[in-house]
Amino acid sequence: MVVVLFVLAFVMVRFGFVPANADTKPSSLERWAAHTSLDATIRREASMAPNPLPLNDSNLIAGIKLYGTNCLVCHGAADGKPSNIAHGLYQHAPQLGHHGVEDDPEGETYWKIAHGIRLTGMPAFDNALDDKQIWQLTMFLKHMDALPPSAHAQWAKLPSQAPHETAQARNDAQR
C-alpha cells in the first residue's frame, strides 16, 4: 500500500499534476504539511531564551532600519498595505503593519528571520545579518505595537510600497 501511494505521488509530481505556479491556491494537504512541518521544526529548534539585547530606543530604531531595508517590500510598512511584490508572493507574506507577530515568542521570530521558511519566499538572513542585527529586528517585531515615541516616529516614516491601484482593480473597473 505504501509503495502504491509513493508511486502515485511520484507520478502526480512528475507529470505536473501538483501545481507549481504561484497564483493558485495551495491544496489542503499542502497547507497542512507546510504548517505542521514548520510548527514541529520551530518547537524543536527555536530557542526559548529571551532576547539578550536591552530594550531601548537605540535597538528598536536599529531594528526598524533593518526592517525597512530587508523586510518592507514583502511585509509592508506601518500602513499594512501590500506592495506589488507582496501581492504576487506565494505564500502571501503577512503584512506586519496590520497583523504583527507581537504574540510570537522572540525565539520563534529570531528563528524565522535567521533560517527563513522553505517554499514561502521568506529568505534566511543568517548569512546577511549578524546575530545582533537579527535580535534587533526581532525586538522591533516583538514591540511594534507599543513603540516609544522616537521609535514610533521612525516606523511611521518608512515609506509604503503599496501601489496606488492594482492591476486587479484596473481590470475590475474596466468590466
What pLDDT score does 23 carry? 76
How far apart are alpha carbons 157 and 11 in whole angstroms? 51
How far apart are alpha carbons 123 and 120 in whole angstroms? 8
At 42-83, the pLDDT tens digits run 999 999 999 999 999 999 999 999 999 999 999 999 999 999
What pLDDT score does 51 carry? 97
How far apart are alpha carbons 139 and 37 in whole angstroms? 25
Average pLDDT, the chain: 90
- Retrieve residue 62's grid coordinates: 536599529
What pLDDT score does 173 carry? 63
What pLDDT score does 171 carry? 64
How far apart are alpha carbons 131 and 135 in whole angstroms? 6
Domains of the chain and CATH, by start:
55-160 (1.10.760.10)
What pLDDT score does 174 carry? 63
Residues in the chain, pLDDT under 50? none
Task: Tell me the CB-side half-sphere exposure of residue 21, using CA atoms within 13 A.
Answer: 5
SS3 content of the chain, % helix, strand, coil (to 5): 55, 0, 45
For the whole model, what pTM was predicted? Answer: 0.84
At 109-118, the pLDDT tens digits run 999 999 999 8
